[in-house]
Each structure stands twice: as C-alpha cells, then as structure tokens.
Structure 1
Amino acid sequence: MGARSHVKHYERVEKVRLLVVDDDPPIADLVATVARYEGWDAVTAYSGEEALRQAAEFHPDIVVLDLMLPDLDGFGVLDRLRLSGTMVPVVFLTARDGVADRIAGLTRGGDDYLVKPFAVEELMARLRTVLRRSAGPGFQRSVLQVADLTMDEDTREVRRGEKLLTLTPTEYEVLRYLMRKSPAVLTKAQILDHVWEYGFGGRSNVVELVVSRLRRKLDGPDEGADGRAPLIHTVRGVGYVVRQVAE
C-alpha cells in the first residue's frame, strides 16, 4: 500500500492582497487569476481612477500598474497613492520600454519595472522579490516539499536531498504544479492548461517528454538507480502524481 505523501507549504501567514491595474482586461484578469492560484487575494482595475478607488477600499499589499491608462496615467496613479500616504510597493507592467520611462518609473517611487510582452512566471517572481524586500506583513519564504524533494519558490532552487537540480523553466513549472497538487493525480490536459496555457491543445506528448526529463533529473538515468525511490508516478489511464510510495 502506498504511503501518504506529505507536502509541506511554508508560506505567509496572511494572504497577499494584489491590485492589478491595466486597461487591457485579458492581461489584468490573467495576472489576477495566476495570483489567486498562488493563494493570493487579487482584484483588478481598468483605469487610473478605478485603481485609486480600489486601493482605498482593498488596501493592497502590492500593486501591478500599467503606465498607459485611459484617464490618469500610471505615473499619476503612483503620485496620488504616495500623496495619500500609502507606501504600497508598485511594480510597473507596461509596453513603454524607453530608458527614460524605466528611470522615471523607478525614481518616482516604483519598486520594479517590467516591459510587455512578459512571462507571467517572471512577473510573479518579481512580485515575491519586492514583497520580501519590503517585508510585507507575515511574508515568509515559500517552500514545497515531498519526501526529500524540496522547491524554494522564491529562489526557484530545487533539491533532491542535498543535490541541487538544474531544471528548465518548463520543467520547473510542471514539477511545481505536481508538487503543489500532491498527492492528487493530474491529467495531461490539466498540466497542459496550467503550464502552457494556450496553443498546445491535444499535444499530450509534450507532457510525456517533460515528465520523462524530470524523472531522469530527479532519479538518475534509470529510476531509482542511485538508491533513491522515484517520486513521479504514472497512474495508468489518468495522469501523473508526485508522492512517496512505501517500499
């Protein structure tokens, strides 16, 4: 009989409250959805005035802010936030990639500046870094653990025992999703939808390839070849799961 897998999550005591401000609803909603998956509370605003109202009511711990808004631009929103007395961290997310814009964004009180198009994983990593740097309420490092496999979501370091593993961004995201959901079994479709999001419908073979590479890196060339029990298991007809199984 398989032993129950123990997944440890070391996260902040309180949920992070995120305000996403962007006049492109699909972008704002995507960032908010990913943040909610991370366990955060997230609200959106599609204009500068709406952002200021949300900030006053929601009291965010951090703000993602576009520069180009239909009424008040991002710099104006930031200036009014600071004038109101709030020092909430602000990460600019904008298509304006000029050096002058970057300098202005940081010197006027922004905490980071990311240019579109962007990878949502990079944005979340930057948000966690800014939160850690600003010492938000109750914020602690977030570490996932299954058996002797650990993943630090802040530093993105993955270790099997004492061995530091080198993973590609895609391998990291697949393993992270499996570890977060352990001991639940995930279908290939679920993994595709979560990691690749768009354009890979029906390409289940890509999941098989990534899982195969992960197994080699976690367990060695042959599963268990170096004495370590394999952690990624195939549930025939269903999908994959990360868990420790009793010998």
Structure 2
Amino acid sequence: MKILIVEDDPTVANFIYKGFTELGHLADLAQDGKKGLTLATANSYDVIILDRMLPELDGITLLNTIRAANDNTPAVILSAKNKVEDKVKGLRSGADDYMTKPFAFEELLARTEVAASRNKSASPAITELKLGDLTLDLINRRVTRDNQIIDLQSKEFKLLEYLLKNAGKIVTRTMLLEKVWEYNFDPQTNVIDVHISRLRNKIDKGFSYPIIETIRGAGYLVSEPKRP
C-alpha cells in the first residue's frame, strides 16, 4: 500500500511510519494539515491516516476539501477525541473509519487494510485514459494518437493527464497551477501558455482535429472531438 500519514505529534507519526514501512509499505508523512492537503491532492494513495486536531488546517476540513474534489481515497481518522459526537462528525465528513488514541498498531494496520481493500473492490484503478483517437497509458507513461507514439516530457504528460481526467469540464489556470505545478499562488509567468503550446504542437498539430480548446477568459477544455 501507499499511505499518507498526517499527524503533528512526532512520536505518534514516527511510530506509525516505522510500523508500515517495516512491513514493506510506502508512506509519506505530513506534520500539518496544509502539507497533508498538498500531498493528498498531488499524489495517489491507497489510504490516508490523519489526526483531527492539526496545525494550519484541521483534519475534518482537510477531508471535506478532498471529498469536495471527488477524491474518494479511503481515510482513517486517528484522534484523541473519543466522544460519540466526535466520531459521528468524523465519519460524516467522509472518513471510512475512526480510531481513538491510544491505539494498538496491529488494529490500525487491520483497519487500514480493510479500508484500502474496500476501495479497490469498489473502484478499480484507472490505467488508461482515452479521448477520441488519443490514448494515455498511465502504467507505461506512453501517449499515442491515431496509433502514433507521441513523446511527452514529464510536465506535459501530467498536464495532459489532468486535462483528460477532467474531460468535458472547463479547467482554469488556477486549477492547473495547483494540480500540475503544485503552486498555491499565481507566479505571474506564462508557464501554462508555454506548456499548452508545446502540448498542442505534439498532440494536435498534423492531426485532423484539435483536442485542446481554449475557452476565452475561462481556461481550457478537452471533450469528445466533433469531427469536421
């Protein structure tokens, strides 16, 4: 499993991190809610383990934010708040499970495995994105259009992946800065224009119809192409 641990107590965080990594799992560690949100939105995890009371951004707000973005990564809340109303609020915010501190690692492991496996059985991992004659292979990191292999740089691939995952929706420049470049501010550069131009030259130029459409004053749109 690949796990995100969001916990501000260094002793507890290191205990959980060590427990999972010793079993061969991959884990990222964030010690505040803001960093946890950044990692959660920039990466793909099998499960998130998070405390409720976190600096910068509390666990409930973090969870509400990723759920609002249609991110259904399983989440296990681990908290010292043990009242029934606390557990109910945590579960209603989108948590799959709620454990109270102190806890036994063996139980945390079991609950985490159950949450991760439940998600996998409900929604198989997406390995390929398609739009018209364009195919993006997420496993082999390969792009083809009309059976022609297209060589993309890492950032171009990530940009195209995000656009395809949001096919049919307008993607704003702010969304691209946050999700592709991981900026939470506008750097006041033309970095998006440059990469969109390069991407268009590779996936649109020379083909019978364009895939990326500029929506003036709003952003960009990719949708099932209307052939001429």
Shorter-chain TM-score bucket reads: 0.5 to 0.7
Partners of 1:21 and 1:45 lie apart in 2 by 10
Q: 1:200 to 1:32 in 2, by over 3 A?
A: closer
1:173-192 equivalence runs, <5 A? 173-192=158-177
* Cross-structure match for 1:81: none
Taking structure 1 as the reference length, the TM-score comes to 0.52
- 2:110 corresponds to which residue? 56
Structure 1 residues 148, 38: CA separation in 2 closer, same or farther (over 3 Å shift)? farther
| Alignment partner, residue 146 of structure 1 | 131
Instruction: Measure how far apart 1:161 and its partner are.
Output: 1.5
Question: CA 1:204–1:42 in structure 2 vs 1: closer, same or farther (change >3 Å)?
Answer: farther
Unaligned 5+ residue runs, structure 2?
Answer: 7-12, 14-29, 45-65, 80-100
Matches within 5 A, 1:214-233: 214-220=199-205, 226-233=206-213
The alpha carbon displacement at 1:139 in A equals 5.2
* Aligned counterparts, 1:89-238, within 5 A: 142-198=127-183, 201-203=186-188, 205-220=190-205, 226-238=206-218
Correspondence for 1:104: none
Alpha-carbon distance change, 170 to 152 in structure 1, aligned in 2, over 3 angstroms: same
Q: CA deviation at 1:31?
A: 3.7
CA distance in 1, matches of 2:102, 2:38: 19
> Does the Cα contact within 8 Å between 1:32 and 1:42 map onto a contact in 2?
no
Q: Measure how far apart 1:53 and its partner are.
A: 3.5
User: Structure 1 unaligned runs (5+)?
Assistant: 1-16, 63-87, 89-135, 221-225
The structure showing larger relative contact order (alpha-carbon pairs under 8 Å, at least 6 residues apart) is 1
**Of 5, 20, 44, the match for 2:4:** 20
Native 8 Å contact 2:167 2:221 kept in 1: yes
What is the deviation of 1:197?
A: 1.2
Aligned to 2:221: 241
Is the contact between residue 173 and residue 219 of structure 2 (CA under 8 Å) also seen in structure 1? yes
- Alpha-carbon separation, structure 1, partners of 2:188 and 2:102: 40
8 A Cα contact 1:29 1:44, kept in partner: no
- CA distance, structure 2, for counterparts of residue 172 and residue 235 of structure 1: 21
How many equivalent pairs are there?
A: 154
CA RMSD of aligned residues (A): 3.3
Q: Tell me by how many angstroms 1:160 deviates.
A: 0.8
Residues 20, 32 of structure 1: 8 Å contact kept: yes
- Whole-Å separation in 2 of the counterparts to 1:48 and 1:238: 49
State how far apart, in whole Å, the 1-side matches of 2:146 and 2:77 are: 41
Distance change >3 Å, CA 186–CA 165, structure 1 → 2: same
Aligned equivalents of 1:241 and 1:169: distance in 2?
21
Distance in 1 (alpha carbons) for counterparts of 2:227 and 2:140: 30
The 3 A distance-change label for structure 1 pair 50 and 20 is farther
Tell me the CA shift for residue 18 of structure 1. 5.4
How much does 1:28 deviate?
A: 5.0
Other-structure match for 1:133: none
Letter in 1 for 2:31: P
- Kept in 2, the 8 Å contact 1:186–1:240? The answer is yes
Aligned pair in 2 of structure 1 residues 155, 200: CA closer, same or farther (>3 Å)? farther
- The letter of the residue matching 2:217 is G
